[in-house]
Amino acid sequence: MSLRIDASAIADHLPGEPPRSGVSGAALAGRIARRLAALAVLHALALPLWALYFPLAFVFGRPPNVPRGAQIARYLRRAWTEMPPPPGLSFGQRLWLTLTVLRKAGMIPFVALAWWLDELLYGRELDAIDVRAPLFEISAGRSGSTQLARYLEDDPTLVAPGFLQSLFPYLWLWRLVPRTIGRFVTTEQVRERFERMLPEEFHERHEGDPFRTDTFEVALYLAHLNALSLFYGPDMADEEFSFCRLLPTNRGQWEEDFVALLERIGRKRLLEAGPAADGSPRRLFTKGHFLCAAPALARRFPDARFLTVIRDPAKRLQSGINYLRANPIDETLGAPPWPWLAEAMIRSEPEYCEVERAWYTAPEGPRRCVIRFDDYVRDLPGTMERVYAACMEGPVPSSVPREHPERRRHAYLLDRSLAQVGIDAAALDAELSEYREWCRG
C-alpha cells in the first residue's frame, strides 16, 4: 500500500475530548512496584503447578487459550528494542509492558488447568457433539456486523457463545456460577457492573452486552498478547493486530489455536444449549473479523457458511480509529497515540479490504453470502431473507427482527475525521476504488 499518514497534522488533544494519557511519574512508579510484588506472589504460586502443566499438556495438548512461548519471548524482546515514532516509549512504559507480559506468562498453568478440567469432566460428551453447518459472520471492523449478529442470535436454532463465555471458556464455570454466585447477583446487575467498567466514549461506539455474542477473536487477542501490540507502536500493531495477514509468527495462532478455541467453545455452547424445541440439533454461530482463519475454518468445517457485511471503507476506517482510541485496553498506559493508530490502520485496513473481496468473490470454496451495508440499513426484511436463503435451510423465523430499533445518535466524545488523524480521504478512496465499487454493488 502506498498510503501514508501526515503525523504533523495530528493534534495530541482536541477540545472536548476525554483525557486518555495514562499515568506517569510517581503514579506509574507506584503501580510498577505493586505489580512487581504481585508478580512475585503469582510466580511463587504457579511454580508447583508447572509440574502438572507439562504432563497434562502431553496428554491433552497445549490449551489454545494460553500464549505460545515464542510470542511471549517476542513481546518481551520488543518491549525493549522497538523504536516507535513520537511520542515513543518511556522506560517506565517499557517496564510496564514487560511486567504485563510476565503476568500473562505466570497465569499459564492456572488457565491451562481450568481448561483441562473441562476435558476431564466433559471431554467425551464434547467430542460427540455434531458441529453441523456452522455459520461464521466474518466482516471488517465497524461494518455493522455486531448488530446483524444480534439479530441472528434471536434465531432459536442458532447457538452463539456470549462475550463472557468467550473470555472464560469453561463449561464447569458456566454451570457453577448460576448455582452459587447467581443466587445473589442477577444478570442485570452484572450488566450494570460491566457498563460501569467501560468509559462513556467506548459505550458510544459499541453496544456491549456480556451475555450476548460479540467479536469472537477478542477471546484470542486477550488470552494471548495481541491486544498489547497497540502500545508497541504502529509496526508491531500492523503485524500483531491485523485480522487478515498470515505471517510465520502468527500462522499457528490463527490456523491452530484460533480454530481449536472456536471449535471447543462452540461444542461447549452446543452441549449447554441442547437440541432445539423440535428436537433437532442447533447450529453454531460466531461473529468477528477473523479473516485470517477463514480458509482454516473452511477446511475444518467443509459445510460451513460464511457471511459478511461490506461498507464504505473510509467510514469504517474513521470509526475504527476512534473506536480503538476509546477502547480501555490498559488504564495505566492510557490510549495508544493517535499517530500510531492511524498508521497501523492505514496499513492493515486496506489490506483487509483486498483479502475480504478475494475471499468472498472466489469462484470455488464454501457457501458465502455478501450483504451490503446500505441495503441492510434500508431493507432489513429483504436482507434477512437473503441471509437465510444463502446460509440456512428454512425461512426467516418470526423471532428475528424485521425492523431496526431506534438507536441513539451521539455527538461523540471521540469523533475525529480522517483529516484530523492525518489521512488523505481522497487518496484512500482512489486506492480502494475496486472495493468501493464492490460495496456499491
Q: Residues with Cβ < 8 Å from 112, sequence gap 6 or more?
A: 53, 56, 57, 62, 63, 66
Question: Is the Cβ–Cβ distance between 311 and 186 less than 8 Å?
Answer: no
Beta carbons within 10 angstroms of residue 367's beta carbon: 14
Q: Residues with Cβ < 8 Å from 199, sequence gap 6 or more?
A: 18, 326, 328
Instruction: Say how far residue 371 (Cα) sits from the centre of its chain.
Output: 21
CA torsion sign, 205 to 208 to 212 to 217?
positive
> How much is the pTM?
0.95
Q: Residue 28: which H helix or E strand, with range?
A: helix 25-46
| 173: amino acid identity, one letter | L
| CA triple 357-360-362, angle to 5 deg | 95
Q: 131-440 has which fold? A: Rossmann fold (3.40.50)
Give the per-residue pLDDT at 196.
86
Query: Grid coordinates 460464511 are at which residue?
Result: 306
> How far is the CA of 131 from the CAs of 38, 285, 313, in angstroms?
41, 10, 34
Question: Is the Cβ–Cβ distance between 18 and 82 less than 8 Å?
Answer: no
| Residues 76-107 pLDDT 10s | 999 999 999 999 999 999 999 999 999 999 99
Q: Which of 36, 47, 31, 45 is nearest to 102 (CA)?
A: 36
Phi, psi of 98 (to 5 degrees): -60, -45
Query: Grid coordinates 508491531 are at which residue?
Result: 236
- How far apart CA 423 and CA 441 sit, in angstroms, is 26
- How far apart CA 26 and CA 24 sit, in angstroms, is 6
Packing angle of the helix pair 338-361, 313-326 (nearest 10 deg): 130
Alpha carbon distance, N-terminus to C-terminus of the chain: 24
Q: Residue 138: which H helix or E strand, with range?
A: strand 135-138
| Residues 128-163 pLDDT 10s | 999 999 999 999 999 999 999 999 999 999 999 999
| CA triple 210-145-353, angle to 5 deg | 130
Q: Which letter does DSSP use for residue 158 in this model?
A: E
What cell numbers appear for 3 in the block? 498510503
CA torsion sign, 280 to 286 to 291 to 297?
negative
- How far apart CA 301 and CA 254 sit, in angstroms, is 15
Question: Is the Cβ–Cβ distance between 332 and 23 less than 8 Å?
Answer: yes
Low-confidence ranges of the chain (pLDDT < 70): 1-2, 408-410
